[in-house]
Amino acid sequence: GQNIDQPTEMTATEGAIVQINCTYQTSGFNGLFWYQQHAGEAPTFLSYNVLDGLEEKGRFSSFLSRSKGYSYLLLKELQMKDSASYLCVREGYGGSQGNLIFGKGTKLSVKP
Amino acid sequence: GAVVSQHPSWVICKSGTSVKIECRSLDFQATTMFWYRQFPKQSLMLMATSNEGSKATYEQGVEKDKFLINHASLTLSTLTVTSAHPEDSSFYICSARDRDEHRSQYFGPGTRLTVL
């Protein structure tokens, strides 16, 4: 299979930092996306990692370790509007290249 | 940035009728479009991959005769849910890959289908 594991729910406080972890199957792996999805809306793109390391983009950063099949999304200076589901999405290689396999999402609740 | 539109944004229909959902890339050409379905509190599930000018590739368990996909141009793909039943009620989302940006997938806003 192409199991993607991420926590189901997380809660954090406004202004804090939160890290959402994701593990995935490494065989046939091409790249990893993080998407944000508010309830009732389509996902929106946050980041794409294909090489090992940390990529920073404003308040959001994403890390990838290809050998460990591990990624995390780091959200800094949390705001109430960050309350959403965060989807760890694996991009396949070869026959499934370009097709995205979605994790079940981590529902983040930001509290005042 | 790239924009993908879907029409309609929501639809309510009677059981047994057919519903067509359109997915358009507004400012780029999409050689490949993807159709997803999302049930409440679940993740997106890929239904099919649609390549312009060729037959769609369906994921295992998705009935190709029930979910008809047509990708007639580089900017338009349609999904027709034939003989819809209440269990087909779901959130249908398309995404389109920019021909010139191989890694990108831009999502449409989704279509909420309710079958009575």
Residue with tokens 């959200």: A75
Output B113 or A97, whichever has higher pLDDT. B113
Give the model's confidence band at A3: pLDDT under 50 very low, under 70 low, under 90 confident, else very high.
confident
Nearest to B107 among A43, A48, A91 (CB): A43
The pLDDT of residue A92 is 80
Residue A82: alpha-carbon gap to chain centroid: 13
pLDDT in tens, A41-51: 889 889 999 99
Nearest to B103 among A44, A48, A103 (CB): A48
When the pLDDT of each residue in chain B is averaged and rounded to a whole number, the result is 90
Which residues does A contribute to its contact with B (CB < 8 Å)? 31, 40-45, 48, 50, 87, 91, 98-105
pLDDT tens track, chain B, 116 positions? 678 999 999 999 999 999 999 999 998 888 889 999 999 888 889 899 888 888 899 988 999 999 999 988 889 999 999 999 999 999 999 998 877 765 667 899 999 999 99
**Quick check: B113 contacting A, CB < 8 Å?**
no
Task: Find, among B56, B17, B51, B18, the residue nearest to B32 by Cα.
Answer: B51
The pLDDT of residue B43 is 86
The pLDDT of residue A26 is 85
User: In this structure, are residues B98 and B29 in contact, taking their beta carbons and an 8 Å threshold?
Assistant: yes
Q: How far is A101 from chain B (nearest CA, A)?
A: 8
pLDDT in tens, A67-93: 999 999 999 999 999 999 999 999 886
Task: Find, among A61, A59, A53, A39, the residue nearest to A105 by Cα.
Answer: A39
Residues A99-106 have a mean pLDDT of 87
User: What is the amino acid identity at position B61?
Assistant: G
Q: Which residues neighbour A43 within 8 Å (Cβ) at sequence distance 6 or greater?
A: A35, A36, A37, A87, B44, B93, B107
The pLDDT of residue A96 is 46
Peptide bond into B8 cis (omega under 30): yes
